[in-house]
Amino acid sequence: VDGPVRQRSLWQHNLALVLGHVGAATPTSRAEVAAATGLTRATVSSLVEDLLGAGLVTEVEPAPRTGAGRPATGLVLNPGGPAGLGLEINVDFLAAAVVDLTGAVRHHVVHRVDQRGRPPERVLADVARMAAEAVDGVDLTVAAARLAVPGLVNGDGLVRVAPNLGWRDVDVPGPLAAAPRWPALPVSVDNEANLGALGELAAAPTPPSFLYVSGEVGIGAGVVLDGALFRGAHGWSGEIGHVTVAPDGPLCRCGARGCLEQYAGQEAIMRAAGIRADPMLSADVAVARIADLAAASDPGVLNALRAAGAALGIAAAGVVNVLDVDTVVLGGSFAALADWLGSQVERELRERVLTADWSPISVRASALGAAATVVGAAGAVVRDLRAAPASWVNALR
């Protein structure tokens, strides 16, 4: 039930409105903000003072104007304002990124270490150290952190299950806060493919509804409908890696048979291509090797990618038939293999999606490639801050 709008929430609302306008049309002026938002110029000036004071907005030289009158001071989002820290735990790497208020990536580090079999507290201690290095490495105030994990995450940051890490019911925020190097930031935890989809949404001109499929050792998906992430009843949507491709197929880590991961996961592709798993070979090098061999028309590798692409297309077709999205974005290590996977995925979609004759489904590589998730995680912090700046402004008062 909607209650009356109080003075305080009115200020919060209008503050977000003004910041949203500055973010959407930079540089802009106080007069343009007033005209665009319908707020009085006095109200806009007061709100802009709040935003300037909190370092969210900064003034720039006025643009030369052709019309009469004194040119107005320009307003832009402050690239030196509060930033977001993105962190990622994946099966065979850890990553950290800082994105500034304008969305620019200011720091990005990847550590290629297999995380399987390591105790969660050791992994989280490494994440805490990477967070500290990221915060120290940028000349910005980091407002908060978002951590991506390849598994099902509860709203309170409890990882219910991350099959490829072997995690079950692992509390994340608690051990992070207790880690000696953790830079005392508020942290929230989300699924890696969800954050990858958000990264894609922010980075590229994307259609409002798309399926983002992230291929690592495991395979996850983020579903974006009408410009918003679709999370499902528990926040667990998008587990496309465990969609059945063949009911009597090979056993999956989740306990079921014939899951997509068993056909199109990184290790399944390597196995099918006859490339032996080498513990000394990091996954990005392995994926680059697969791409090189495919580019050289190695028949075994081409067959492996055809089979993986077909399985991916079969699973994606099921999603597209149900949700009517018109684009499939290939992210994670799939991005580097999109030249070969993409045509197979398209072929399956053409054959299996009922509506494909009237509206072909386009398949493309992620604009951010393998960095989509960690950059998306950092960007999500900034996006939330921009959508609701009041608490940041208040904290500085």
Which chain residues interact with Zn ion by CB under 5 A?
242, 252, 254, 256, 259
**CA-to-CA distance for 185 and 143, rounded, in angstroms?**
7
Between 254 and 367, name the residue whose CB sits nearer to Zn ion: 254
Between 134 and 152, name the residue whose CB sits nearer to Zn ion: 152
**CA-to-CA distance for 331 and 313, rounded, in angstroms?**
14
Q: How far is the CB of 266 from Zn ion (least distance, A)?
A: 15
CA angle 248, 249, 250 (to 5 degrees): 125
Between 129 and 242, name the residue whose CB sits nearer to Zn ion: 242
Q: How far is the CB of 152 from Zn ion (least distance, A)?
A: 12
Between 251 and 295, name the residue whose CB sits nearer to Zn ion: 251
Q: How far is the CB of 254 from Zn ion (least distance, A)?
A: 3
Between 175 and 332, name the residue whose CB sits nearer to Zn ion: 332
Q: How far is the CB of 161 from Zn ion (least distance, A)?
A: 11
Q: How far is the CB of 253 from Zn ion (least distance, A)?
A: 6
Q: How far is the CB of 157 from Zn ion (least distance, A)?
A: 24
Between 96 and 316, name the residue whose CB sits nearer to Zn ion: 316
Between 203 and 240, name the residue whose CB sits nearer to Zn ion: 240
Question: Omega into 208 within 30° of 0, i.e. cis?
Answer: no
Between 138 and 256, name the residue whose CB sits nearer to Zn ion: 256
Q: What would the two tokens of residue 344 be?
A: 């197979």
Q: What are phi and psi of 286, to 5 degrees?
A: -60, -45
Q: How far is the CB of 160 from Zn ion (least distance, A)?
A: 15
| In the block, residue with structure tokens 């090098």 | 285
Q: How far is the CB of 239 from Zn ion (least distance, A)?
A: 8
**CA-to-CA distance for 342 and 329, rounded, in angstroms?**
9
Q: What would the two tokens of residue 298 be?
A: 């190695």
H helix runs in the chain, sequence order: 7-24, 30-37, 41-53, 120-137, 173-178, 192-203, 261-264, 266-272, 283-295, 299-323, 338-352, 372-387, 390-395
| In the block, residue with structure tokens 């608490």 | 391
Beta-carbon contacts of residue 132 (< 8 Å; ≥ 6 apart): 181, 182, 183
Q: What would the two tokens of residue 370 be?
A: 């393998």
**CA-to-CA distance for 376 and 91, rounded, in angstroms?**
18
Between 57 and 272, name the residue whose CB sits nearer to Zn ion: 272
**CA-to-CA distance for 289 and 68, rounded, in angstroms?**
62
**CA-to-CA distance for 88 and 190, rounded, in angstroms?**
10
Q: How far is the CB of 236 from Zn ion (least distance, A)?
A: 14
